[in-house]
Amino acid sequence: KSVDILINNAGVMRCPEGKTEDGFDMQLGVNHLGHFLLTNLLLEKLRDSAPSRVINLASLAHIVGKIDFDDLNWERKKFDTKQAYCQSKLANVLFTRELAKRLEG
């Protein structure tokens, strides 16, 4: 079977502080890490199905997002639901740009 198009659109917005089953911040887990994992699991199938497409939905909120790689899960600082959302959307944009570079040509 082929995978012609993958649309990563799952998301939560400004939800209360919580963790995924794997211990990640809920918004980062749902909005970004799930997309990242699914895309990477399907990458070989997508390549074999060329010309295929990956579409990652993000948000203009990425503009004010900051990724704190030392505290992705809000364990050292006070949880901010808005910033957690913005962080997850910035991660989407950065992932999309890097994926495009790696798959180019």
pLDDT tens figures, 59-105:
999 999 999 999 999 999 999 999 999 999 999 999 999 999 999 86
Averaged pLDDT for residues 26-40: 97
Question: What residues contact residue 82 under an 8 Å CB cut-off, 6+ apart?
Answer: 14
Per-residue model confidence as pLDDT tens digits over 38-59? 999 999 999 999 899 999 999 9
Q: Which helix (DSSP H) or strand (DSSP E) does residue 5 occupy?
A: strand 5-8
- The number of domains in the chain is 1
Q: Is the pLDDT of residue 34 over 90?
A: yes
67 closest CA partner among 88, 93, 97, 36: 88
CATH number at 32 reads 3.40.50.720
Whole-number pLDDT of residue 104: 84
Cβ burial, residue 16 (10 Å; 0-12/13-18/19+): exposed
Catalytic residue numbers read 85
Average pLDDT over residues 22-44: 97
- Residue range(s) defining the domain that contains residue 79: 5-103
